A = this chain, B = another copy of it.
Amino acid sequence: MARYAYVNGRYVPHGEGAVHIEDRGFQFADGVYEVIPIINDRMVDAGAHLDRLDRSLSELGISWPTNRRVFELVMAELIARNRVSEGLIYMQITRGVAPRDHKFPKGVPASIVMTTKRVPFLSQKKLSDGVKVITIPDIRWTRCDIKTISLLPNCMGKTAAAEAGAYEAWQVDREGLVTEGTSSNAWIVTADDKLLTRPASEDILRGVTRQTLMRIAEEEGLSYTEQAFSVEEAKTAREAFVSSATSFITPVVQIDDVQIGDGKPGPLSHRLQNWYLDYCAGQKQLA
């Protein structure tokens, strides 16, 4: 079966999807994106992802290239054409094509690219076994709340993690506090049993999975605190995990050279993961 991409109004074979060399996404990282997981033939939290996309566009002054309803129809059509029942859809909107100039051009339609990918998410070993993370300095810009394609530092961090045999790198601010992973939010259960994740600010992405997890926690009567934590607190935590649209709730069993808890996914991480996976599978509704 051919795999299609959607590029600026056309469904094209994936290998032929192309954008102009003066697309501002290619020359200036002048664009935003979203990734939505698909489980059991349905997108998870599509509304929240599109709301965030809307906010990212708005923060950068990029106009929607089409109305949101049409955009959603294209998403559904691409998923159907590519027969993705478990996997993801990736959507990227850039400011469009214009002669190279730092200044935002006027009157240029934004570019849209969408692709899908089949991924056997639920059978990933990392969900059951947990992962190792490393800690690195957070070298990014000050507007990490906008989900831009300006991801070079994230790529550098993820590569450093892989080179250290780890899955993710937790970025650490000047005060020694963890901001977030390179493509996930960071959580710990402290030594005195508090569930913590950093408050949403311009320092981190307001993760959709992070938000859903908070709603699940509330419904389940589980308390959590939006509070930054240090690397030291993380290393002495009972449990740790990361959350993201494509890593779901992935337990963290080692930070740098330090084993977390007994080196196995902790009980709370496990419960939250189960709850969240049920939610993704459509087996759990939230109020």
Contacts and interface: CB of A to CB of B under 8 A. Distances in A.
A103 interface: yes
A149 B150 CA distance: 9
A185 interface: no
Interface string A145-163: 0001111111111110010
Interface in A65-95: 90, 92, 94
A27 interface: yes
Total identical chains: 2
Given A19-B21, A115-B21, A104 B149 contact: no
A250 interface: no
A21 to B, nearest CB: 4
A7 interface: yes
A61 B155 CA distance: 12
A6 to B, nearest CB: 10
Contacts of A117: 99-100
Interface in A1-56: 5, 7, 15, 17-30, 33
Nearest to A59: B156
Contacts of A148: 152
Most buried by B among A21, A30, A61, A102: A21
Nearest to A20: B18
A59 to B, nearest CB: 10
Given A21-B7, A113-B21, A29 B150 contact: yes
Given A21-B5, A21-B7, A102 B182 contact: yes
A3 to B, nearest CB: 11
A183 interface: yes
A107 to B, nearest CB: 14
A139 interface: yes
Contact of A103 (B29, B30, B100, B155): B155
Which 5 residue pairs of A and B lie closest in terms of their CB atoms, listed nearest first? A29-B29, A102-B158, A18-B18, A17-B21, A139-B142
Interface of A: 5, 7, 15, 17-30, 33, 60-61, 90, 92, 94, 99-100, 102-104, 113, 115, 117, 137, 139-143, 148-159, 162, 182-183
5 contacts: A7-B21, A21-B113, A28-B152, A148-B152, A150-B152
